Amino acid sequence: MAWKMIVAATDGSERSIAAAQFAASLARECESKLHVVTVVRPPEGWWGIEGAPPPPRAMSEAVVDARQSILEATMSKLDQTGLDITTALEIGEPSGTIVKYCEDIEADLLVIGRRGAGIIERFVMGSVADRLAHYSPCPILIIP
């Protein structure tokens, strides 16, 4: 079994960066492509239940910039030697958007942290991780 297309989802948290580092080592080992993806969750009521999200430029630049820095922070913690890395900033609800991203690029492995940047510790696993564990279109690796 070879993982040829690996996705690491990052929200900038220590755990998601650890997950991305794990994904990077695996990608090097398997000579696979690596996609590092972060999803910007738009503010409540930003768009209705129906229809497609508005284009990224419609969203507050500050939010996009903040997420851009998350992507950069994650990349700066990765050993990129010999890797073919694509970064992506997507807009939407994180878990659904990550699922769609994995489908679109035909990922064969998704790597995430068990928790992220959230501050509510009601459950052992974060809600994005929980949803992805249920709905990921490809095998998923959850880094504790």
Distance, in Å, from the CA atom of 131 to the CA atom of 20, rounded to the nearest integer, reads 19
How many helices (H) and strands (E) in the chain? Answer: 4, 5
Residue closer to Mg ion (CB basis): 118 or 137: 118
Question: Among 32, 38, 74, 136, which residue sits at the site for ligand ADP (rule: CB under 6 A)?
Answer: 38
d(CA 36, CA 59): 21
Nearer to ligand ADP, 11 or 108 (CB): 11
Among 53, 96, 118, 137, binds Mg ion (CB under 5 A): 118
For residue 96 the two structure tokens come to 């659904």
Say how far apart CA 70 and CA 74 lie, in whole Å: 6
Put the strands of the sheet holding 5-9 in their side by side order. 84-91, 33-40, 5-9, 109-113, 140-143
Task: Pick from 20, 109, 116, 132 the residue near Mg ion by CB under 5 A.
Answer: 116
Tell which one of 7, 10, 74, 78 touches ligand ADP (CB under 6 A): 10
From 5, 19, 27, 140, residue interacting with ligand ADP (rule: CB under 6 A)? 19
Give the gyration radius of the chain's Cα atoms: 15
Is position 42 an interface residue for ligand ADP (rule: CB under 6 A)? no
Binding site for ligand ADP (CB under 6 A): 9-11, 13, 15-16, 19, 37-39, 41, 94, 112-113, 115-118, 126-129
